[in-house]
């Protein structure tokens, strides 16, 4: 499946469209963005990535769920670079304890990388998050808080509900994230649940506040409202 255009010029053109929003002038530490195909969620992700266009650091860590591999704990990419139609980008060699494997098939990671390349990031550290406990999420956040990263949290929201059901379900997820409400984690419906829990802990540790940028679901894009997927973007 092609998640985004594979031609260099076509990809450049669509990214320019998605990133046409003004850069953010407030202090920003990271974003939560969807990872569906660009035709579905690219505009929502691009609005958040536009906030990073003036960011001083050019090193991003991507925290993404695992769609294809049953994983307990963390996995990092075994290669030292990642290639897209926009070229190669360096992968950091971090000392975080994680299983090494080939992560190229994980679209929750791969769909973020052209955005980062387009806005000038020069180094990434992709980290796939398998099942973890609340306590493990807190420890991971404590470790990551010590590094000078921009945090890219890759997460879609509810899947395959009706349009109205998705809006109601996703509203609860958005409220839990914005309020950093650990008591409402059970209400979060997302295929990026574990990355989101780490992000909530990062915000709690550093006194950051997640704020919603945009919410839509696939019904807003395709007009098929019988079975939709929710997409949101935040900054923190």
The CATH number corresponding to 27-235 among 3.40.830.10, 3.30.300.30, 1.20.1250.20, 3.30.70.260 equals: 3.40.830.10
Specify the pLDDT at position 57.
72
Domain ranges of the chain: 27-235
For residues 187-197, give the mean pLDDT.
97
Mean pLDDT of 194-204: 98
Any alpha helices (H) in the chain, and if so which ranges? 8-18, 38-50, 107-110, 113-118, 134-144, 163-178, 193-206, 218-222
Phi, psi of 211 (to 5 degrees): -130, 135
The answer to whether the CB of 217 falls within 8 A of the CB of 156 is: no
pLDDT average, residue stretch 160-186: 97
> Could you tell me if 210 and 236 are in contact, meaning their C-beta atoms sit under 8 angstroms apart?
yes
Mean pLDDT of 119-148: 95
Question: Does the global pTM surpass 0.75?
Answer: yes
pLDDT tens digits for 64-121? 999 988 899 999 999 999 999 999 999 998 889 999 999 999 999 999 999 999 999 9
Which tens digit of pLDDT belongs to each residue from 22-59? 887 888 999 999 999 999 999 999 999 999 988 777 89
pLDDT number for residue 49: 97
Q: How far apart are CA 230 and CA 171, in angstroms?
A: 10
Q: Determine the average pLDDT of the residues in 192-220.
A: 98
pLDDT mean across residues, the chain: 95
């Amino acid at each position: 499946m092609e998640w985004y255009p594979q031609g260099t010029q076509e990809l450049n053109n669509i990214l320019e469209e998605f990133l046409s929003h003004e850069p953010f002038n407030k202090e920003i530490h990271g974003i939560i963005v969807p990872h569906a195909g660009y035709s579905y969620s690219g505009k929502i992700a691009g609005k958040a990535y536009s906030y990073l266009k003036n960011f001083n650091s050019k090193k991003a860590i991507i925290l993404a769920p695992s769609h294809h591999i049953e994983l307990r704990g963390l996995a990092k990419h075994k290669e030292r670079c990642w290639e897209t139609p926009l070229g190669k980008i360096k992968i950091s060699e971090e000392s975080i304890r994680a299983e090494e494997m080939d992560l190229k098939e994980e679209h929750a990671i791969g769909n973020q990388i052209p955005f980062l390349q387009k806005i000038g990031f020069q180094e990434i550290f992709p980290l796939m998050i398998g099942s973890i406990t609340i306590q493990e999420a807190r420890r991971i956040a404590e470790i990551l808080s010590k590094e000078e990263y921009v945090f890219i949290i890759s997460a879609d929201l509810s899947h395959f509900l009706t349009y109205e059901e998705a809006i109601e379900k996703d509203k609860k997820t958005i409220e839990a994230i914005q309020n950093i409400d650990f008591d409402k984690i059970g209400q979060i419906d997302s295929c990026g649940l574990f990355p989101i829990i780490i992000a909530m802990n990062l915000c709690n540790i550093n006194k950051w506040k997640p704020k919603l940028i945009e919410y839509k679901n696939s019904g807003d894009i395709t007009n098929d409202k019988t079975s939709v997927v929710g997409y949101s973007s935040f900054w923190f």
